[in-house]
Structure formats: C-alpha cells, structure tokens
Amino acid sequence: MIDSHCHLTDPRLRSQLADVLARAASHGVTRMITIGTDLDDAREAIALCKVLPNVRCAVGVHPNHTQNVELSDLPLLREIQADPAVLALGEMGLDYFHHFAPREKQFAVFEFQLQLATELGRPVVIHSREATDDTLAVMKKFPAVRAVFHCFTGTREEARKILDAGYLMGFTGPVTFKKSDELREVVRLMPQDRLLVETDAPYLTPEPMRKQKTNEPAFVRYVAEEVGRIKGWTLEQTDAITTANAERFFGLKK
Ligand SMILES: [Zn+2]
C-alpha cells in the first residue's frame, strides 16, 4: 500500500523515523510520498529519499508558507524539480481558512508553480481549504496540468466541480470520522480511477487511532479500510485500485 501524501520531514515523524517506517511496513504500507512545503523542506525531503528508496517526494510551496518565500527565489524550484527523487510539484494552492499569508501572495506563488508544472509536464498536488472556486479558477488558466486535490474534505458540489475539471482527489483520516457522512457520500460517488488514499501525517489521525495525536503512514490502512467499506471493496481491492492510481498519476515505478 502507498501513503500518497505524508510529511516525514516534520519533526514529529522525523524524530522517530525508523520506528515509523517499521510500523508502516508491519501494516503493509511499503511506499510513501513525502511532501516538501517550502524550499528548505524540499531539500530535506529529497535528502530523505536518497537514503530511503521506497520514499519519493513532491515538493513545492504550500500556501501557508508563501509568506516565507520571495518571488525571486521561486525559480529555484525548477532546479529542485530536476532531482530524480521528485515526482510532482506541490503541495500548492490557496488556503482561506488560515491567514498566514495574504491572498495576493498565495495567488502569485500558486500561479508561478502552475506555470512551471506546465513547462515541465509535472503533476501537481493541490492544497485547497475553503477556496475551491478560486483554486479551480486559477487552474483553468493552466489546462495541461494534471492535479490531485489532496485531503479532500469539502461538499458534494465541490467534489463535482473538481471531478468535472478532470482532477483526482485524495482522502485522509476525516473519512473515518463519525460526523463525516457527506464526505463518505463523496467517496461513494468517486470514479474508481480518480481516488487516492493518504494520511497527511502527522496531521489528521484516522479512527480508530485518533487518540494518538501524531498520525503516521501506517494508518493509511484505516483510511483504505473505510474507503473499501464504502465502495464495497476488500482491502486488497482498495489497495490495488488506489496503488494503480498513484503509480499512474505520479509516474511511480511499480
Ligand atoms: Zn500535506
């Protein structure tokens, strides 16, 4: 099984990485895509991939980190993308829930990265929080870019718009939460070939492990179990389907 979105460079996971990887393996989670959220984190993610062949990365500037980058530094992303450990650009996007960066800065950094993705033919990982319409409007200007809306937790209408635009969607711990009936309805409606499972660890621990504050890649198994329960798939089928989707989207080797 693949955890298609985690943050292994976060100190909460980094500080116990050998154990985290061992527990992942014992849950059948053998591959991970770790996400770098700014230029420094990108370098750390790549360094990790060098020593861990089953870990690959996506790197970009997260909307909630855009206040820490200068627009003049963004061309460095082009060199960083050239590293063979890097499979995608992101996460990138718009976040109207947190207010870490002004919207104008978020837009500028997002558009720069979509332009770069267009030039490099790279898939992108989208972080969109309370900003679906604006995110889709920006992306419309870059029609060649393939994207996954990671950690989807929105409404059925928002899901419909994302699917109509041709993008994939990633599901995380919240699909297991008691109150998430609408999100489970979205999963039920998802076309099989557009669905990824992920943890977003160290955030969003799924049930039944929610008491453990720090989420970890092993727990993508619980997300996959819930997705399978909703879809009427066995865990093996869910694994095969979501793994094939991740391999195709990220250009991961089998
Ligand atoms: Zn993330």
- The side-by-side arrangement of strands in the sheet containing 124-129 is 2-6, 31-36, 55-59, 86-95, 124-129, 147-149, 168-171, 195-197
Averaged pLDDT of the chain? 97
- The predicted model gives 139-164 an average pLDDT of 98
CA of 20 to the centre of ligand 1 (A): 17
Residue type, 164: D
Bridge partners of residue 86, in order along the sequence: 57
Using the CB atoms, write b or e for 6-27: b if 16+ within 10 Å. Answer: bbbbbebbeeeeeebbeebeeb
CA of 7 to the centre of ligand 1 (A): 6
CA of 19 to the centre of ligand 1 (A): 21
Residue 25 has pLDDT above 90, yes or no: yes
CA of 6 to the centre of ligand 1 (A): 6
Nearest Cα to Cα of residue 109 among 123, 132, 90, 96 = 90
CA of 197 to the centre of ligand 1 (A): 13
Residue 37 has pLDDT above 80, yes or no: yes
Kindly report the CATH number assigned to the domain that includes residue 81.
3.20.20.140
Q: Fill in the DSSP letter of residue 132.
A: H
CA of 5 to the centre of ligand 1 (A): 6
Ion ligand 1 neighbours (CB, 5 A) are: 35, 200
CA of 92 to the centre of ligand 1 (A): 9
Structural domain including 117 reads 2-250
Helices assigned H by DSSP within 32-167: 39-51, 76-81, 103-120, 132-139, 156-164
- The predicted model gives 202-214 an average pLDDT of 96
How many CB atoms sit inside 10 A of residue 1's CB? 25
Residue 254 has pLDDT above 90, yes or no: no
CA of 173 to the centre of ligand 1 (A): 12
pLDDT score for 129: 95
pLDDT, tens digit (0-9, with 9 covering 90-100), for 80-89: 999 999 999 9
CA of 127 to the centre of ligand 1 (A): 7
Structurally, the chain folds into a number of domains equal to: 1
Name the one residue in this structure whose structure tokens are 């963004």.
74
CA of 202 to the centre of ligand 1 (A): 9
- The predicted model gives 66-91 an average pLDDT of 95
β-pair type (31-36, 2-6): parallel
pLDDT score for 30: 96
- The predicted model gives 103-126 an average pLDDT of 97
CA of 231 to the centre of ligand 1 (A): 25
CA of 13 to the centre of ligand 1 (A): 13
Residue 253 has pLDDT above 90, yes or no: no
